Amino acid sequence: MPPETSSPAPAVVRADGRTPQQLRPISITRGWSSQAEGSALIEFGNTRVLCTASFTAGVPRWLKGEGRGWVTAEYAMLPRATNTRSDRESVKGKIGGRTHEISRLIGRSLRSIIDTKALGENTIVLDCDVLQADGGTRTAAITGAYVALVDSIRWAKANKIIDHRAKVLTDSVAAVSVGIIDGIPMLDLPYIEDVRAETDMNVVVTGSGTFVEVQGTAEGAPFDRDELNRLLDLAVSGTAELAQIQRETLGNDD
Amino acid sequence: MPPETSSPAPAVVRADGRTPQQLRPISITRGWSSQAEGSALIEFGNTRVLCTASFTAGVPRWLKGEGRGWVTAEYAMLPRATNTRSDRESVKGKIGGRTHEISRLIGRSLRSIIDTKALGENTIVLDCDVLQADGGTRTAAITGAYVALVDSIRWAKANKIIDHRAKVLTDSVAAVSVGIIDGIPMLDLPYIEDVRAETDMNVVVTGSGTFVEVQGTAEGAPFDRDELNRLLDLAVSGTAELAQIQRETLGNDD
Amino acid sequence: MPPETSSPAPAVVRADGRTPQQLRPISITRGWSSQAEGSALIEFGNTRVLCTASFTAGVPRWLKGEGRGWVTAEYAMLPRATNTRSDRESVKGKIGGRTHEISRLIGRSLRSIIDTKALGENTIVLDCDVLQADGGTRTAAITGAYVALVDSIRWAKANKIIDHRAKVLTDSVAAVSVGIIDGIPMLDLPYIEDVRAETDMNVVVTGSGTFVEVQGTAEGAPFDRDELNRLLDLAVSGTAELAQIQRETLGNDD
Amino acid sequence: MPPETSSPAPAVVRADGRTPQQLRPISITRGWSSQAEGSALIEFGNTRVLCTASFTAGVPRWLKGEGRGWVTAEYAMLPRATNTRSDRESVKGKIGGRTHEISRLIGRSLRSIIDTKALGENTIVLDCDVLQADGGTRTAAITGAYVALVDSIRWAKANKIIDHRAKVLTDSVAAVSVGIIDGIPMLDLPYIEDVRAETDMNVVVTGSGTFVEVQGTAEGAPFDRDELNRLLDLAVSGTAELAQIQRETLGNDD
Amino acid sequence: MPPETSSPAPAVVRADGRTPQQLRPISITRGWSSQAEGSALIEFGNTRVLCTASFTAGVPRWLKGEGRGWVTAEYAMLPRATNTRSDRESVKGKIGGRTHEISRLIGRSLRSIIDTKALGENTIVLDCDVLQADGGTRTAAITGAYVALVDSIRWAKANKIIDHRAKVLTDSVAAVSVGIIDGIPMLDLPYIEDVRAETDMNVVVTGSGTFVEVQGTAEGAPFDRDELNRLLDLAVSGTAELAQIQRETLGNDD
Amino acid sequence: MPPETSSPAPAVVRADGRTPQQLRPISITRGWSSQAEGSALIEFGNTRVLCTASFTAGVPRWLKGEGRGWVTAEYAMLPRATNTRSDRESVKGKIGGRTHEISRLIGRSLRSIIDTKALGENTIVLDCDVLQADGGTRTAAITGAYVALVDSIRWAKANKIIDHRAKVLTDSVAAVSVGIIDGIPMLDLPYIEDVRAETDMNVVVTGSGTFVEVQGTAEGAPFDRDELNRLLDLAVSGTAELAQIQRETLGNDD
């Protein structure tokens, strides 16, 4: 009659009431900006990122004449996006390593689902500005930038800058953070969980479920192969859910 | 013999349907940011500025020990706030003259209605980030920063950092742009009017109707004393209306 | 026996012996530099600014092919122009907000009296370097830069770069500071008055008496309409006197 | 008649004669620099990185009084380490994103095997300067920096700055790159393979076989879970070999 | 009737009428600036340098507590000091190599005749700003900076910051340029000679005739020992003349 | 009874066992880098400098169309080349005066023995990176850069970029430091002697014994003409020895 064996481990409940496998409430406001060719205000819980896509004819000098387009990204955070104010990078006169690293990650992630030949000699710059930060800003940025990117391509087609039959997008892309906290793998970490995580991983996954980036870091003790596998499982299911939200947001008007 | 019907000046109607004496639709969303001690998302038509107030104990080194507080401001624009994308100042590694000039204007404007003795040795930094720009960004920033400032002082009183009876604020402050277009003085110029204005003036006025800043610039032909006077009249009435909106937004909970 | 006429207010005498309506001794040494196309060492009392005008064929890239010229200005201060030494902006690696703001003001002021079509595709750069500072450096810079500008245009005509009949200058321009000290409006403030002024205003006026810039700032208490008007009266009379000195300095050799 | 033996896949031979599972020739010259507390010139084939460890008493201001030490790293490349010359970052006046990113990776990797409490309030700075680059510079840097780090700790113990019984190191650490080229997972990519890789992964592994960092990037097509697993297998065996070389280089003199 | 004595080599006359052994007209206006503790406007022909000495109590952090003072120098050129305008170093955001090199030379030259123990823990900063450049700016700067330096020390003694009997100065110092043009060694080169010189040398000499700096550079063909000796002879006689002018300028009021 | 022969001055022996007239052990490893067109790792005792020559077709914009080539140099030091670590100039965001000064010296020295007409419109950039510093780094850099330069020209001839009969080199060039320590002139100073030297001189001499640069600085007391002469004698004999080593290193394969 040992109840311990018959009753499963008590369900883990996170500070915000989620189960370990649950995303935070996700909201994508498409077209938040009236100035950009594509834009989205994306929210992962309290994390809010404004993503704009600027579509311009022409490519950087080093790419001229190759018949291919260019997609790049810049990530930044407002000084009071976080709980305490940070100095502006424009005031400091230089961009920090973290900012550089994330900008590069976003750019690579979006280029991975673009056919630059089909884009033609055009450039899309994705600006991801964090208005409010509560963990997972880079993954929200990638997920939201995809929506802005799609809209900017639709704009270019509507304005006959790109042929409307061109298959510029080869897939969709979304990203999520996962981490191990007190030994339990958890999905989509807010700031308070992020700082406690022993291992922290950001995973960028296409709509068809293949990997674009896997970045796992042992914050405390190194992690083993089994932990890695459980985190990847969680990330794949979380990004599948995000891909579904992206599809619903964007509709079928291609 | 009704004089009205015989020779009225035909009513001037602006591109957006306003009369020359009318403000654009004004919206202030108080507490837009959950991270800052005070915040407001302010909209003057399509111009949207996120204003946050960061309240911290202590003052800069050069002010220590004088028993007075410090209020300062930083203004910036997202790269795609405007119709075409601008390079980030953080990427360029330096802040442009226009940014500097506006940051200084906002700082001076808010310091003019603060009793720094009553504030005590505390610092309030106002960040005004333009999310979308359509003319009048500096005047929207000043008007919104005032709301964020008031909330940060209420926060400091609620948290007993400042005595709840301290009279930190000596008045309210708001700002508006005025200009002469085709010879007609107009209030609160959107971008398309701003570029056409012969004379452009930004006026910062207290709630009690006195001037904090008067900055008039002849963009085309120099202006005369009479034009100056008509612009000032318009600015005084516009800022009175803004002061009323600020009062309604902030309520009486002091 | 009306007392008003028999007992006038006692005359106010300033620290340097001037009446409130008096300029400091003004000196303009035309052609101080033998290298530049136009130059003037201007002195407003102890304030000394070296103004040079560099005339070059061609315009910046963004203006090419429009048949118009370009006039711009750079203001700077020697590190020991002031009573205590300041770090050089070249050593700090960035230009301060104040420097930027004043450079922009000087450029706008001089462009306001130039017909850029008549100038043709030529550029004039005005460098205003403060060798000694005692208040009013920006107003001295504008007043002196006008003299250097005129001489550089005469040089261009003499060298047949511009047609000698071209009307490049539409007017003259001069500037002066005014302020309220102990309730009394005063003209052309030296440093010791400037720091005490409740309201400080820089006014840029053409030779024909119209306004190019009006920049009034409440340093202490906000100012009212009446004070504004009295300051403007003072500025208009001061700049009229400066315009007369400019005319005498430049002679009639156009 | 065993079919397995009769038709093996034809052995893949790489341009430099290696099998896919083979490291390049590895050489570690310990103590190459006579100035630093620890140093190693490490070679992965033609890639040559000079790693120095600078041990100093004290920690950065933000860590003072916590009884813990600090380990950080800076990575850089000589301008002509590569086949064509790059501009120096010191001349450009700013550090590129790639440099920042790699410096941060090296620092995190080495901190993962340090007990900062046992290190005491001391700082170790690891400088990894690439003298010649042929792919895998960041992994060579981590592997060589570990050797320099160990020697700097031995130096500190020999000089009685750290107690000789303190267990500062909790493990060893090494890194290697892996990638998929023409569908085949390969270990330790030189430059010509690196540019052709469809997927590129840098893996940092401890001496006991657990992961510190896993950074996989799809350069071309996204990769699937099976490919990820095969790359991880290869990386784990490669870093085990590197750990063995580190042990032989460092000997048992702890 | 020996022909050798009756027909001397025809005297060489330089473009400005000088003999090869002659200095340009030298002028030193002591106390040109009313703000600095010491100042001199020095002219070597058309070269004009404003030298100011800023005397402040205290020394840089790295020198504290050693009972010694510090003397340093900064050299700069106004943008239109030269025949064509140069960009400002403050606008470019960095100081050029030439500026750095000359600042360091001036600093070393003046430190060579200062007894830093006698100066006490005080700092003297020498700012040498070239207002007009026509060759020899660094030598004029050193020669003029000496005058400013002496006056700042006299000021410190008069203000009892330094004991009036302290022997802070161990000697005087002056500098001159020499060069070989068309095979003839010449003293104090203006710009048009400087660009033609095959060898160019700047020599810094004390009042007692010993060397502080000898910087000879072959601009065209390398030079031999005999040429070096003739240049040094010329420099020694030129600096002796400058030392005499310095003495006359400064008088005996120590 | 000739006293001269019976009592010679006791032989001076330096800390490292050398006589005052002796160079440190010199080693030049030609072709140390497999990436550059020419390279040499040069050692003057413990001073180690890696010199690479990057040969590229074309010249900077300002030299285009003149039929002449360009040779320039950049000098830098690894952060831990010295006994205590220095901050990287790339991290500080600016290049120090010393670095600038030495880069310019190396560039001038190598240009002095190049016929830029014979070089044609090609550019050679010499990078001299100090891997380990123990005095005399600039003189080792010049001496080693010459070897890299020669090899890059041979490479250009072998690759038919320059005609194989072109006489690009007009001479060889080498450099050495000399100084007076305790009154005794000494050759090739290591760091511990350098800091003690009363006078410090760097001399750049061609293979045929003429001077390219003479840079003498009084670190302590100024020096007289006799000391200058003795230092020059020593430098000429030291550089003759270095020129012989360069010849042996380079062989006769031109």
3-state secondary structure (DSSP) of residue B55: strand
Q: pLDDT digit string (tens) for A125-173? A: 999 999 999 999 999 999 999 999 999 999 999 999 999 999 999 999 9
Query: Tokens for E174?
Result: 């002056």
What does DSSP assign to residue C190?
-
pLDDT in tens, B26-78: 999 999 999 999 999 999 999 999 999 999 999 999 999 999 999 999 999 99
Dihedral through CA E138, CA E142, CA E145, CA E146, nearest 10?
Answer: -170
Lowest mean pLDDT among A89-98, C200-209, D39-48, D167-176: A89-98
In E, residues 31-70, which contact F (CB 8 Å cutoff)? Answer: none
Q: Is residue B115 over pLDDT 70?
A: yes
- Put simply, the answer to whether C213 touches B214 (Cβ < 8 Å) is no
Closest CA–CA distance from residue A160 to any residue of chain B (Å): 19
Q: CB neighbours (10 Å) of residue F57?
A: 11
Which residues from E are below 8 Å from C133, CB to CB?
35
Say whether E214 and F216 touch across the interface (CB within 8 A).
yes
User: Looking at residue A219, what is its pLDDT?
Assistant: 79
CB contact under 8 Å between D93 and F93, yes or no, is: yes
Looking at the DSSP bridge assignments, the partners of residue D114 are D169
* Predicted TM-score (pTM) of this structure: 0.88
Pairing of strands A70-77, A122-132: parallel
Residue D97 contacts A, CB cutoff 8 Å: yes
pLDDT at D148 (0 to 100)? 98
By Cβ distance, the residue of C33, C84, C99 closest to E80 is C33
Across the interface, whether the CB atoms of F103 and E96 are under 8 A apart is answered no
DSSP single-letter state for residue B113: T
* DSSP H/E element including D231: helix D225-250
- A178 and B CB contact within 8 Å: no
Which pLDDT score is estimated for C10?
60
Amino acid letter for position F251: G
With CB atoms and an 8 Å threshold, state whether D74 touches F79: yes
Q: Which residues pair with B73 in a beta bridge?
A: B126
Tell me: the pLDDT tens digits for C54-63? Answer: 999 999 999 9
The dihedrals phi and psi of E150, each to the nearest 5 degrees, come to: -60, -45
Q: Contacts of residue D94 in chain A, CB cutoff 8 Å?
A: 94-95
Q: Cβ E97–F112 below 8 Å, yes or no?
A: no
Residue D146 has a CB neighbour count (10 Å cut-off) of: 33
Residue contact F50–D131, C-beta within 8 A = yes
User: Quick check: helix, strand or coil at residue D158?
Assistant: helix
Candidates D33, D56, D80; nearest CB to F52: D80
| Beta-carbon separation of E211 and F232 below 8 A | no
Cα C19 versus chain centre, distance = 21
Residue D100 confidence (pLDDT) above 60:
yes
Neighbours of chain A (3+ CB pairs under 8 A): B, D
3-state SS string for chain A: CCHHHHCCCCCCCCCCCCCCCCCCCEEEEECCCCCCCEEEEEEECCEEEEEEEEEEECCCHHHCCCCCCEEEEEEEECCCCCCCCCCCHHHHCCCCHHHHHHHHHHHHHHHCCECHHHHCCEEEEEEEEEEECCCCHHHHHHHHHHHHHHHHHHHHHHCCCCCCCCCCECCCEEEEEEEEECCEEEECCCHHHHCCCCEEEEEEEECCCCEEEEEEEECCCCECHHHHHHHHHHHHHHHHHHHHHHHHHHCCCC
- Residue-wise pLDDT for E92-126, tens only, equals 888 888 999 999 999 999 999 999 999 999 999 99
* Residues facing B209 on adjacent strands: none
Chain F adjacent subunits, 3+ CB pairs under 8 A: D, E
- D127-179 pLDDT, tens digit per residue, is 999 999 999 999 999 999 999 999 999 999 999 999 999 999 999 999 999 99
Using CB atoms, pick whichever of E100, E212, E216 lies closest to residue F211: E216
pLDDT level of residue A93 (50, 70, 90 thresholds)? confident
Out of A171, A211, A215, name the one closest to residue D223 (CB): A211
Q: Is C44 helix (H, G, I), strand (E, B) or coil?
A: strand
**With pLDDT > 70 as the criterion, what percentage of chain B qualifies?**
95
Q: Report the pLDDT value the prediction gives residue E96, as an integer from 0 to 100.
A: 85
Which of 130-169 (D) contact F at CB < 8 A? 131-133
Is B127 close to A79, i.e. CB distance below 8 A?
yes
Q: What is the pLDDT of residues E202-249, one digit of tens each?
A: 999 999 999 999 999 997 789 999 999 999 999 999 999 999 999 999
Closest CA to C108 of C79, C138, C78: C138
3-state secondary structure of E170: coil
What would the CATH number be for the domain defined by F26-80+91-250? Answer: 3.30.230.70
Residue E100, chain F, CB below 8 Å: the answer is yes
Query: Would you call F56 and D85 a contact, using CB atoms and an 8 Å cutoff?
Result: yes
Q: Report whether pLDDT(D2) > 90.
A: no
Question: Does the distance separating the beta carbons of C91 and E95 come in below 8 Å?
Answer: yes
Judging contacts by C-beta atoms under 8 Å, the chain C residues touching residue B75 are none
Q: Establish whether E137 is an annotated binding residue.
A: yes
Residues 6+ apart with CB under 8 A from C169: C113, C114, C115, C150, C153
Q: Which residue has the higher pLDDT, C15 or F24?
A: F24
C89 shares contact with chain E (CB less than 8 Å): yes
Please say if the pLDDT value at position E8 is more than 70. no
Q: How far is CA C120 from CA B94, C91, C115, C160, D124, in A?
A: 32, 37, 9, 12, 62
Residue A214: its chain D contacts at CB < 8 A? 201, 214-216, 228
Q: Chain D: give the shortest CA distance to residue A158, in Å.
A: 28
Residue E253 confidence class, pLDDT cut points 50, 70, 90? low
pLDDT, tens digit, 9 for 90 and up, residues A171-212: 999 999 999 998 899 999 999 999 999 899 999 999 999 999
CB contact under 8 A, F80 and D34: no
pLDDT at B9 over 90: no
Residues of F in contact with E112 (CB under 8 A): 218, 222
State the pLDDT at residue D1.
Answer: 40
Interchain CB contacts (distance < 8 Å): A and B: 90
**Residue range C193-219: average pLDDT?**
94
Contacts of C50 (CB under 8 A, 6+ apart): C32, C33, C39, C40, C41, C127, C128, C129, C131, E78, E131
Q: Is the pLDDT of residue A116 over 90?
A: yes
Measured between CA atoms, the residue of chain E closest to residue C126 is E80
Rounded Cα–Cα distance for residues F205 and D115 (Å): 54
Judged against a pLDDT cut of 90, whether residue F11 lies above it is answered with no
Domains of chain A, residue spans? 26-80+91-250
Closest by CA to E172, choosing from E202, E145, E199, is E145
Size of interface C-E (CB pairs under 8 A): 91
Whether the per-residue pLDDT at D6 is higher than 60: the answer is no
Interface mutation vs chain B, best among A43, A49, A84, A85, most B CBs within 10 Å: A85
Nearest to C100 among B101, B206, B211 (CB): B101
Residue B137 annotated as binding site: yes
Please provide the average confidence, as pLDDT, over all residues in chain D: 93
pLDDT at F3: 44
Max mean pLDDT range (B5-14, D40-49, F96-105) = D40-49
DSSP summary character for residue C160: T
Chain E residues whose CB is inside 8 A of the C144 CB are none
What is the distance in angstroms between the Cα of F90 and the nearest Cα belonging to chain E? 13
Is A93 at the interface with chain B, CB within 8 A? Answer: yes
Report the distance separating Cα E122 and Cα E159, nearest Å: 13
pLDDT bracket for residue E88 (50, 70, 90): very high
pLDDT band at D94 (very low <50, low <70, confident <90, very high): confident
Whether residue D125 lies within 8 A of chain F, CB to CB, comes out as yes
- The pLDDT score that the predictor gives to residue A221 is 83
Give yes or no for residue D9 having a pLDDT over 70: no
Mean pLDDT of chain F: 93
What is the rounded distance in angstroms from the CA atom of residue B124 to the CA atom of residue B59? 9
At residue A106, φ and ψ (nearest 5 deg) are -65, -45
CB nearest to C35's CB, from E94, E129, E132: E132
Please report residues of B whose CB lies closer than 8 A to that of C222.
112, 171, 206, 208, 210-212
Task: For A33-53, write each residue's pLDDT tens digit.
Answer: 999 999 999 999 999 999 999
Residue labelled with tokens 């504030």 = B119
Name the average pLDDT for chain C. Answer: 93
Q: Is the CB of F213 less than 8 angstroms away from the CB of E218?
A: yes
